[in-house]
Amino acid sequence: MIALDAAVVTAYAPAADGPRRGRARRAAEDVVRILGPVTLDLTEHRIAVVGPNGSGKSTLARLLNGLTLPSSGTVRVDGLDTARDGAAVRRRVGFLFTDPDAQVVMPTPVEDVALSLRRAGVPAAGRDAAARAWLDRVGLADRADLPVRALSGGQRQLLALTAVLATEPDVLVCDEPTTLLDLRWRAVVDALLADLPQQVVQVTHDLDAAAHADRVLVVDDGQVVHDGPPAAALAAYRARMLPPTPAAPAGPA
């Protein structure tokens, strides 16, 4: 289980027209709170995180596997503190970025998945065959030895997802995994995520996808402002984002 206890994230963000200071002289007034305090126990199988641009969703997602550490408060994964046990946390919690090019580092798909297997401790002798088996599972077997740049954007995101899954995490955190994909690839990735046995926490602007979650967190202005079943949380989010339409003027009597 992932548990956040009064987790706060701050960042150094000096005003553009403020005085310029060296690293040693950063002023307290230039430190801004970008998230929190957030206290949550994340136990549901499928959790969606929605909210406007810049509201803090990615920051929240990155807290969950220690990519971002809380400035105060704690984040624990199965009791492991992300600030102290980062490597063990990252073995449990995989992270999928919006842009697969930020994640895929090797020249070919089979090498990229093999790298994940290496990180997961799979012995060298079995890695190539295991990587091919993973690619086969997601329908990328015939792309295994092509240069990654020859894959479509959708195939690259599928590859990035496969490379994360190959490490067999207990939890998968996805930060807008389908935002860059066309409708067809979005459906492929959504279907794959829906079928995973793992807990999935997904940041998304796709409210249709969020509607299938067990729990939806609505983040706004660095706070979790709604938390509950999708119907109620998404209605609250829509009401927050979209002003009510003015009543139609009355017609002639």
Ligand X SMILES: Nc1ncnc2c1ncn2[C@@H]1O[C@H](COP(=O)(O)OP(=O)(O)OP(=O)(O)O)[C@@H](O)[C@H]1O
Nearest distance from residue 52's CB to ligand X, in Å?
7
In the complex, minimum distance from the CB of residue 38 to ligand X, in angstroms, rounded to a whole number: 12
Nearer CB in complex with ligand X: 97/185: 97
CB of 223 to ligand X, least distance (A): 11
Which of 12, 40, 83, 5 is closest to 215 using CA atoms?
A: 40
Give CA separation, 65 vs 42, 88, 92, 220, 243, in Å. 13, 10, 8, 21, 35
Helices (H), 64-205: 86-92, 109-119, 124-137, 153-165, 183-195
Nearest to 104 by CA among 147, 138, 140, 56: 147
- Is residue 202 part of the contact set for ligand X (CB under 6 A)? no
Taking CB under 6 A as the criterion, the residue among 6, 11, 129, 241 binding ligand X is 11
Q: Are 221 and 54 in contact (CB under 8 A)?
A: no
User: Chain-centre distance of CA 213, in angstroms?
Assistant: 14
The correct pick among 36, 56, 66, 109 for binding ligand X (CB under 6 A) is: 56
Nearer to ligand X, 55 or 155 (CB): 55
Which pairing describes strands 46-50 and 72-77: parallel, antiparallel, or unpaired?
Answer: unpaired
Complex with ligand X: residue 13 or 150, whichever CB lies closer: 13
Residue 71 or 198 with smaller CB distance to ligand X: 71
Binding residue (CB under 6 A) for ligand X from 36, 46, 51, 155: 51
| Distance between CA atoms of residues 143 and 159, nearest Å | 10
From 38, 46, 59, 185, residue interacting with ligand X (rule: CB under 6 A):
59
For ligand X, the closer of residues 13 and 232 by Cβ is: 13
Which residues ranging from 159 to 188 are in contact with ligand X (CB under 6 A)?
Answer: none
Grouping H, G, I as helix, E, B as strand and the rest as coil, residue 127 is helix
Q: Does 13 bind ligand X (CB under 6 A)?
A: yes
Q: Report how far residue 201's alpha carbon sits from residue 142's, in angstroms, rounded to the nearest whole number.
A: 30
| 57 is a contact residue toward ligand X (CB under 6 A) | yes
Question: Interface residues for ligand X in 208-247 (CB under 6 A)?
Answer: none
Closest CB to ligand X among residues 9, 172: 9
Nearer to ligand X, 113 or 224 (CB): 224
CA 97, 101, 105: angle at the middle one, nearest 5? 105
- Interface residues for ligand X in 27-46 (CB under 6 A)? 34
Task: Give the residues lining the site for ligand X (CB under 6 A).
Answer: 11, 13, 34, 51, 53-59
